[in-house]
């Protein structure tokens, strides 16, 4: 056998080994692959990873773009890559700050419970460091919406407006929600609560990884601090936020349904509600095109 043939076969063998390994990794750890791809997309869009030392520990954020500053805050159990389907289309018109909230992604702490004050400390320090004194628009999904309203409440001079996406800072009760599923059946039920019934079903191999993350991931670590959360809600205090607020809501969300948004709308002095039909709890991932259109209108102040 010629040397060239041997080399070619060796290369084919290496390629096949890598392909099988990659497929196996997708099968066994799909959420890790999703996270890696999202973060790679942010970098490819020109956002640079920045480490910020804060009272909550070292925080990681992706930063870049041109124009007014927009901060994108993800939900509990997620990370900065959650914005990968919309962030690249904003960098030409806005400067983006996209953090991993404390205890999520690569931000510290990497072990132990994660409570609201630590998340808030980390987010405030990142904004203060990277915004450079400019007023910011904060876009927050789920937990990120809660943090966005807390920052606006505590530092109104920092904030231009808040765009809360299926999240907010008042008490909500949903006994049927399965925030930390322990079985594939519970994970499947959780996904149906989070997503529109018409969206593609989540495969079992992904649900299996959801259960694995639920036992020791950032969402479980956040839920572990549940008995401390109520003191950080703004029930009866939303009227003190005198900034423009837009509630962008996936109408199919059954974890934080439209009624929750309407309760906030009744308290907020300068707010409006934009609903996205056939979208669930995380519309920037489930229906990114329609979400981006609503987001652009809100950023431009279009009624």
* N residues, the chain: 303
pLDDT of residue 26: 53
Residue 10 pLDDT > 90: no
Residue 185 pLDDT > 60: yes
Residue 264 pLDDT > 80: yes
pLDDT digits (tens, 9 = 90+) for 87-97: 999 999 999 99
In terms of CATH, what superfamily is 3-299? Alpha/Beta hydrolase fold, catalytic domain (3.40.50.1820)
Band of the pLDDT at 172, cuts 50, 70, 90? confident
For residues 194 and 264, what is the distance between their CA atoms, to the nearest angstrom? 20
pLDDT digits (tens, 9 = 90+) for 186-209: 999 999 999 999 999 999 999 999
Residues in contact with 130: Cβ distance below 8 Å, sequence separation at least 6, in sequence order? 50, 52, 61, 63, 97
Helices (H), the chain: 3-28, 30-44, 116-131, 143-154, 184-194, 204-216, 218-223, 258-267, 283-286, 288-299
User: What's the chain's average pLDDT?
Assistant: 89
Torsion of Cα atoms, 221 then 226 then 231 then 237, to 10°: 90
Delimit the domains of the chain by residue range.
3-299
pLDDT digits (tens, 9 = 90+) for 57-116: 999 999 999 999 999 999 999 999 999 999 999 999 999 999 999 999 999 999 999 999
Band of the pLDDT at 178, cuts 50, 70, 90? low
For residues 6 and 269, what is the distance between their CA atoms, to the nearest angstrom? 74
The mean-pLDDT minimum among 23-27, 41-45, 72-76, 227-231 falls in 23-27
Band of the pLDDT at 143, cuts 50, 70, 90? very high
């Amino acid at each position: 056998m010629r040397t060239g043939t041997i080399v070619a076969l060796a290369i084919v063998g290496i390629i096949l080994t890598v392909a099988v390994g990659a497929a196996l990794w997708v099968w066994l750890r799909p959420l890790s692959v999703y996270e890696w791809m999202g973060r790679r997309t942010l970098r490819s869009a020109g956002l640079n990873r920045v480490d910020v030392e804060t009272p909550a520990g070292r925080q990681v954020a992706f930063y870049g773009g041109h124009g007014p500053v927009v901060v994108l805050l993800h939900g509990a159990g997620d990370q900065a890559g959650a914005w990968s389907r919309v962030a690249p289309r904003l960098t030409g018109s806005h400067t983006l700050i996209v953090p991993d909230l404390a205890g999520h992604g690569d931000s510290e702490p990497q072990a132990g419970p994660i409570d609201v004050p630590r998340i808030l400390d980390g987010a405030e320090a990142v904004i203060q460091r990277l915004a450079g004194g400019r007023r910011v628009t904060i876009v927050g999904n789920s937990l990120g919406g809660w943090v966005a309203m807390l920052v606006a409440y505590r530092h109104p001079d920092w904030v231009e407006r808040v765009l809360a996406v299926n999240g907010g800072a008042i008490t909500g009760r949903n006994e049927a929600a399965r925030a930390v599923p322990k079985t594939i059946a519970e994970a499947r039920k959780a996904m149906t609560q989070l997503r529109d019934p018409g969206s593609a079903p989540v495969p079992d191999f992904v649900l299996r990884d959801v259960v694995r993350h639920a036992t020791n991931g950032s969402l479980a670590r956040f839920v572990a601090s549940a008995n401390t959360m109520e003191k950080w809600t703004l029930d009866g205090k939303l009227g003190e936020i005198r900034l423009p607020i837009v509630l962008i809501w996936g109408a199919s969300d059954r974890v934080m349904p439209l009624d929750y948004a309407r309760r906030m709308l009744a308290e907020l002095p300068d707010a409006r509600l934009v609903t996205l039909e056939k979208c669930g709890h995380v519309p920037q991932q489930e229906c990114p095109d329609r979400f981006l259109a609503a987001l652009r209108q809100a950023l431009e102040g279009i009624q």
